[in-house]
Amino acid sequence: MAGLMDLLNSDLGKQIISGVSGQVGTSEGETSSVLESVLPSLVGGMMNNASTAEGQSGLLGALLGGKHGGLLDNLSGMLGGDVQEDGGKILGHVLGDNQENVQNQVSQNTGVSSDKIAMIMKIAAPILMAYLAKQAQGSGLNNSGTTANGGGLTDILGGLLGGGQTQQTQAPSSMGGSILTSMLDQDGDGQLGLGDAVAAATKKGGLGGLLGNLFGKK
């Protein structure tokens, strides 16, 4: 399963980085650096939400409802529409009260201003949902949260972070500064695997609690 770094390094990823840069006014290098931190954070928030029956049901409905799946087929149209308005709603569901803390931490990590990171996050959220919807539909994910090969929604989300059911992927060096890398590497082996992601998501307080603990410090 293609992960987030595969997406960013692909031709589509280059189009996304270029398009977002044009929208926000950041360089492509800055945009890429921000996305490398923001996207894993958003996936982590989704994993935290999916750890409850209500959260999983809401995410499944969004992914399988047909709204997001075709958006990447018309990226220029997507970036030119009400993408930030839609993105703001998605961020509210995924990160909740942690949104500003994530913005501030990414700003510290990348040197990009918090207001521009807020814009990038609002654009990135619908793009991630569209990418995830394609992955979900391609795997045969159903309304029960299971896939044709016996996996599930958590496997798909874990795959985006670099680990699937049968493999673990060494975290790329460029992701070394991303917010969730250290938290998701629960077993300390330097790899982001599905086991790490599940361990983080199922800790007391969930991943949202971990985010709050990390970013609540001034």
Question: What is the domain extent for residue 19?
Answer: 4-215
Of residues 73 and 138, more confidence is placed in 138
Structure tokens at 54: 């209500």
Read off φ and ψ for residue 209, nearest 5 degrees. -65, -40
**Which segment of 33-37, 105-109, 159-163 scores lowest on mean pLDDT?**
159-163
CA distance 61 to 53: 12
Place 118 in a pLDDT band, splitting at 50, 70 and 90: very high
Asked whether the predicted pLDDT for residue 120 surpasses 90, the reply is yes
Q: What confidence tens digit (pLDDT) does each residue in 26-66 have?
A: 999 999 999 998 998 899 888 888 888 888 888 888 888 76
Structure tokens at 162: 């670099």
3-state secondary structure of 75: helix
CA distance 28 to 34: 10
Long-range contacts of 4-9 (CB under 8 A, 24+ apart): 4/36, 4/39, 4/40, 4/43, 4/160, 4/161, 4/162, 5/36, 5/162, 5/172, 5/174, 5/175, 7/39, 7/131, 8/32, 8/35, 8/36, 8/39
Burial 103-118 (b: 16+ CB within 10 A, else e): bebbbebbebeeebbb
CA distance 167 to 192: 10
Number of domains in the chain: 1
Tell me the pLDDT of the chain averaged across its residues: 73
Structure tokens at 133: 């919807």
